[in-house]
Amino acid sequence: MKKTLLALSVASLLTACGESSSSDSPTTDRNTVEYRVIDGYLSNADVCMIAVGETLCVDIGSTDENGVIKIDKDIISGQLIATIKAGETKDADSVGFVGKSYQMVAEISVDSPNVVTPFTTLDVLDTDKTLAEIANELDLSEELLSGDYLASNDTNKAHVHALARALVTQLAVDKDDNNTGDLLSQTEKVNDYIVNEFKNNDIDLDSQNIIFEDNGELRHEPAISKLADFLEAGPRFLVSLNGAHYRDEGARPLTFKDGVTYLDGKEISYEIMDNILISDGNEKDEFIYVSNYLSLSVPLRSKDLTAISSAPFGVGDDEEREATWAADDLIGNTFYFIFDDQGKGESIKPTFVKMVFSASTVIITEGDEVNSVAWQLEGGLLKLETEELDRNITYAQSVSDQNITLIKDIKAGMSLSVMVQDENLAKSIFAKWISAAN
């Protein structure tokens, strides 16, 4: 029976894996080709291959700490698909894990550079323009745009890196769901923004990220590459998501500066080791999520989930609330809620709930239990009205970033919950809370 190209490719991959299992093999490097998956270098991104004429994507493995994946040198055509998983894939540009899932793609080639980037993704998705034409329109080098821009000595290296960091925020979870025209338009818009806002004003591109607002406008903010960048950036606000702690402590302001934390009028020494904050010599908090505006951590002694924000937690009836829901934010969408459902006299109780919204009802799934309840918006507040639950719930938005929102049941005076739309991110946060607590 004649073997298909896909079967040959799979056999080659299996052969390559067998050879690479022996550290003494002198031919391993000669028999494989390295591809790098890049926004920054992306580790633990899943990579699969689609052979020419096939639709099935055959799993190859995950990228290493340098964003590298190896494929057999005899595979000279097809496509590589990189799946970047929120909460699991790590970007060398930032602290912690990526907060949004997306895919990138590249054509397999016998020529270097062998990379999978936002720009190779544009090149594959856009059947009307070549990457050379796109580079020309952006007034950038095709060589820089098509290769490992992080390792380049080109004077526009930081320009292209900043462009890539902005572009990945617009990539879809599934590569086939991208609108190529929109991606090209967004690329041109970010490119113009870099020229006008950064180069004309002599701002360090490597220190900033470009953000798309909900209305499509652009702005920039400091890049967070380590935990200290977030904690020491200015005044912060601390709150526990555990009900008992929340009732006892509420939301508290704090600052981190020069190795000293100021909290509740006290000075407490601290140091930072990777994603661990060590306070007063022995109190440790493990950070499981960090962005410019919000972090989630687990104090290893109390094991509750704790949030630190750059903005006050304005969630009470008599406090100012700027963020509100609109019906389009919810209808047709799925959200995941993470909260501490501790009862009286109980220890912490990490809880994970899935909510699927239709026009008038929401399907709530917690473990094996499924309920359908009515919902409505009133003054921007989310109200769940049901006899199945113990009581009606009114949720108010508190603080948020591009990936998660903290909300509060304002009628019950309970602590905050984490609301996430990306399933990978939600499951990762929950799993890391459980892991740190244990």
Note the pLDDT of residue 7.
39
Whether 399 is in a domain gets the answer: yes
Note the pLDDT of residue 3.
32
Whether 189 is in a domain gets the answer: no
* Structural domain count, the chain: 3
pTM: 0.86
Residues 368 and 248 reside in one and the same domain: no
Note the pLDDT of residue 9.
41
Q: Please identify, among 280, 309, 338, the residue that sits at the C-terminal boundary of a domain.
A: 309
Whether 126 is in a domain gets the answer: yes
Residues 344 and 296 reside in one and the same domain: no
Q: Please identify, among 159, 184, 209, the residue that sits at the C-terminal boundary of a domain.
A: 184
The pLDDT of residue 436 is above 50: yes
Whether 340 is in a domain gets the answer: yes
Residues 98 and 177 reside in one and the same domain: yes
Residues 288 and 250 reside in one and the same domain: yes
- Which of 18-32, 138-152, 263-277, 349-363 is the least confident region? 18-32
Note the pLDDT of residue 345.
61
Residues 262 and 349 reside in one and the same domain: no
- Which of 1-15, 238-252, 401-415 is the least confident region? 1-15
Note the pLDDT of residue 26.
40
Residues 87-96: pLDDT tens digits?
Answer: 999 999 888 8
What residues make up the domain containing 238?
227-309
- The mean predicted confidence, pLDDT, of the chain is 88
Whether 219 is in a domain gets the answer: no
Residues 274-285: pLDDT tens digits?
Answer: 999 999 888 999
| Beta carbons within 8 Å of 88's beta carbon, 6+ residues apart | 44, 97, 424, 428
Q: Please identify, among 242, 274, 309, the residue that sits at the C-terminal boundary of a domain.
A: 309
Whether 135 is in a domain gets the answer: yes
Higher pLDDT, 413 or 198: 198
Residues 45 and 166 reside in one and the same domain: yes
Note the pLDDT of residue 389.
57
Whether 209 is in a domain gets the answer: no
Residues 264-316: pLDDT tens digits?
Answer: 889 999 999 999 999 988 899 999 999 999 999 999 999 999 999 998 886 44
Residues 385-418: pLDDT tens digits?
Answer: 866 556 688 899 999 999 999 998 887 666 799 9
Whether 203 is in a domain gets the answer: no
The 3-state secondary structure of the chain, one letter per residue: CCCCHHHHHHHHHHHHHHHHCCCCCCCCHHHEEEEEEECCEEECCEEEEECCCCCCEEEEEECCCCCEEEEECCCCCCEEEEEECCCCCEECCCCCCCCCCEEEEEECCCCCCCEECHHHHHHHHCCCCCHHHHHHHHCCCHHHHHCCHHHCCCCCHHHHHHHHHHHHCCCCCCHHHCCHHHHHHHHHHHHHHHHHHHHHHCCCHHHEEEEECCCCCEEEEECCCCHHHHHCCCCEEEEECCHHHHHHHCCEEEEEECCEEEECCEEEEEEEECCEEEECCCEEEEEEEECCCEEEEEECCCCCCEEEECCCCCCCCCCCCCCCCCHHHHCCCEEEEEEECCCCCCCCCEEEEEEEECCCEEEEEECCEEEEEEEEEECCEEEEECCCCCCCEEEEEEEECCCEEEEEECCCCCCEEEEECCHHHHHHHHHHHHHHHC
Residues 166 and 254 reside in one and the same domain: no
Residues 263 and 373 reside in one and the same domain: no
The pLDDT of residue 120 is above 50: yes
CA dihedral over 356, 362, 363, 365, signed as positive or negative: positive
Residues 298 and 353 reside in one and the same domain: no
Tell me the pLDDT band of 214, cut-offs 50, 70 and 90: confident
Cβ neighbours, 10 Å, residue 375: 22
Residues 79 and 180 reside in one and the same domain: yes
Residues 174 and 111 reside in one and the same domain: yes
Q: Compute the average pLDDT of residues 115-131.
A: 95
Note the pLDDT of residue 122.
95
Residues 32 and 171 reside in one and the same domain: yes
d(CA 395, CA 406): 10
